[in-house]
Amino acid sequence: MQIIPAIDIIDGKCVRLTQGDYGQKTIYNENPLEVAKTFEAAGLQRLHLVDLDGAKAGSVKNWKVLESIAANTSLVIDFGGGIKQEADLNIVFNSGAALATIGSLAVKNETLFVQWLHRFGADKFLLGADVKGEKIAVGGWLETTDIDIYDFISKYINHGIQQLFCTDVSKDGKLEGPSTILYTNIITRFPELHFIASGGVSSIGDLQELERMGCGGVIVGKAIYENRISLDELKVF
């Protein structure tokens, strides 16, 4: 199982939100490159980079942070937040992202996203699904749709998607443990999917449980920044 540390960016700084609430923001480091280098030095190979300013504005904002980390580390970076137009997508790839992370767009503009999958290759995208009660949530989690998570995954697997991360929005940023029942159901139904768990990880025990369940990867953010999990502990994975 691959450990994928998360760096969330506001105003060029490394922050974390609780349950997507911009009012509940903690700044952890003024220099995201420094944080990324720490992850690389610990032997981690991937990075989940989220442009929170971009997500709010609807267009990519913190691409300079992406460019800096891509140029100065060998981390495989997936970058998301504000990718709504092809111009944004080109900025993300040209700035060094290996994967573009797409969430709300896959719900709200399926036609455009499917065009991108065919034009750029489905292997260039990491699909993100925010879930509330097995239904897809969008718009910073404020809006719950009537789209079933399993139907959503099935549709995009048919379009070639290979990697997906799923966040149970009731768990994210709360350090209360991951949504193991939901994740087990997804892994059982879609064994071919490279499934990445996200949200709620609070201890090394959570990571061990996710590995036993068959997760291909797990995104870890707040637990690292709050020193619930040390980088040394992550070396066993």
For the chain, what percent of residues have pLDDT higher than 90?
A: 85
Across the range 138-157, mean pLDDT stands at 89
Secondary structure (3-state) at 26: strand
Give me the amino acid identity at 184.
T
Q: Can you read off the two tokens belonging to residue 146?
A: 């009537």
What is the reported pLDDT for 16? Answer: 82
Q: What is the Cα–Cα distance from 129 to 188, expressed in whole angstroms?
A: 17
What is the reported pLDDT for 173? Answer: 64
pLDDT at residue 185 greater than cutoff 60: yes
Q: What is the Cα–Cα distance from 56 to 224, expressed in whole angstroms?
A: 25
Q: What is the Cα–Cα distance from 17 to 152, expressed in whole angstroms?
A: 26
Does residue 130 carry a catalytic annotation? yes
What is the reported pLDDT for 143? Answer: 82
| Averaged pLDDT score across all residues of the chain | 94
pLDDT band at 25 (very low <50, low <70, confident <90, very high): confident
Q: Which of 8, 88, 168, 206 is catalytic?
A: 8
Q: What is the Cα–Cα distance from 207 to 217, expressed in whole angstroms?
A: 9
Q: Which of 53, 78, 88, 130 is catalytic?
A: 130
What is the reported pLDDT for 139? Answer: 67
What is the reported pLDDT for 220? Answer: 95
Secondary structure (3-state) at 221: coil
Which is it for strands 99-102 and 76-80: parallel, antiparallel or unpaired? Answer: parallel
Annotated domain spans of the chain: 2-236
The b/e string for 14-48 (b: 16+ C-beta within 10 A; e otherwise) is bbbbeebeeeeeeebeeebbebbeebbebebebbb
Class of domain 2-236 as given by CATH: alpha beta
More confident residue, 123 or 23: 123
Does residue 21 carry a catalytic annotation? no
What is the reported pLDDT for 117? Answer: 98
> CB–CB of 134/121 below 8 Å?
no
SS3 content of the chain, % helix, strand, coil (to 5): 40, 30, 30
What is the reported pLDDT for 140? Answer: 57
Q: Can you read off the two tokens belonging to residue 234?
A: 């992550």
3-state SS string for 153-201? HHHHHHCCCCEEEEEECCCCCCCCCCCHHHHHHHHHHCCCCEEEEECCC
pLDDT at residue 10 greater than cutoff 70: yes
87-115 pLDDT, tens digit each: 999 999 999 999 999 999 999 999 999 99
pLDDT at residue 77 greater than cutoff 80: yes
What is the reported pLDDT for 20? Answer: 73
